[in-house]
Chains A and B, each alone.
Chain A
Amino acid sequence: GAGVSQSPSNKVTEKGKDVELRCDPISGHTALYWYRQSLGQGLEFLIYFQGNSAPDKSGLPSDRFSAERTGGSVSTLTIQRTQQEDSAVYLCASSLEGGRVTGELFFGEGSRLTVL
């Protein structure tokens, strides 16, 4: 596609429910990133994929969070048993290359999650 696509753009859910957020990166980009942005805050790194592998999952806030990437393309971030503190904008970004030296990241518009 022309850019990084994220869905849904907005999600309102009840506490305790599971949610899935999807990211479709730019075609050919091997590196994919998930960040979380709380209101008025900077970006919190969650996870990085190089191809289908996630070398670093240390940014995931708890074991309720998981992410996968299939076919070196689409990625899904899953939050189980959502809590109110999970409310944030979840941003996905892709890059032509990742690894030792990170270049420009291309961001999607984000998925705004509200947990009631």
Chain B
Amino acid sequence: SQQGEEDPQALSIQEGENATMNCSYKTSINNLQWYRQNSGRGLVHLILIRSNEREKHSGRLRVTLDTSKKSSSLLITASRAADTASYFCATGRRSNDYKLSFGAGTTVTVRA
């Protein structure tokens, strides 16, 4: 089964609002990564957070990691129409980290 599961499956927000999505996973990890996929395109890496980190920022993105709850959240602040995409979390298990497992993703629609 997939290691990471995103929630919600879909999110629709107004431009300027914040978007928050969550990722839960099952086993111990080395790191957790978030990727974005625009329709019909490949995935683009957004941010990587290591298992010993609790929070990380990159521009308008804020990622948190709670290893005790095996969960992570991605916050996009002041959303723009260009943020419309699917967002995936990816985790690598400590036992075989090369096999990054992706969830089904959260589809975010930002309305102008």
User: Hey, which bits of chain B sit against chain A, CB under 8 A?
Assistant: 2, 30-31, 33, 35, 41-45, 48, 88, 90, 92, 96-105
Contact = CB atoms under 8 A, between A and B. Distances in A.
A64 B88 CA distance: 29
Interface residues of A, number: 29
Contacts of A109: 41-42
A106 B33 CA distance: 12
Contact of A45 (B31, B41, B44, B100): B100
Given A105-B43, A108-B42, A100 B97 contact: yes
A100 B99 CA distance: 10
Question: A interface, by DSSP: helix, strand, loop or mixed?
Answer: loop
Interface string A78-116: 000000000000010100001111111111111000000
Contacts, number: 67
18 contacts: A33-B98, A41-B104, A42-B104, A56-B99, A93-B43, A99-B98, A102-B92, A102-B98, A104-B33, A104-B45, A104-B48, A105-B35, A105-B90, A106-B45, A107-B42, A108-B42, A109-B42, A110-B42
Given A42-B2, A42-B88, A43-B88, A107 B44 contact: yes
Interface of A: 4, 31, 33, 35, 40-43, 45, 48, 50, 55-56, 59, 91, 93, 98-110
A25 to B, nearest CB: 13
Contacts of B98: 31, 33, 48, 50, 55-56, 98-100, 102
Contacts of B35: 105, 107
A40 B86 CA distance: 10
Contacts of A98: 98
Residue among A33, A98, A102 having the largest count of chain B Cβ atoms under 10 Å: A102
B99 A107 contact: no
A33 B43 contact: no
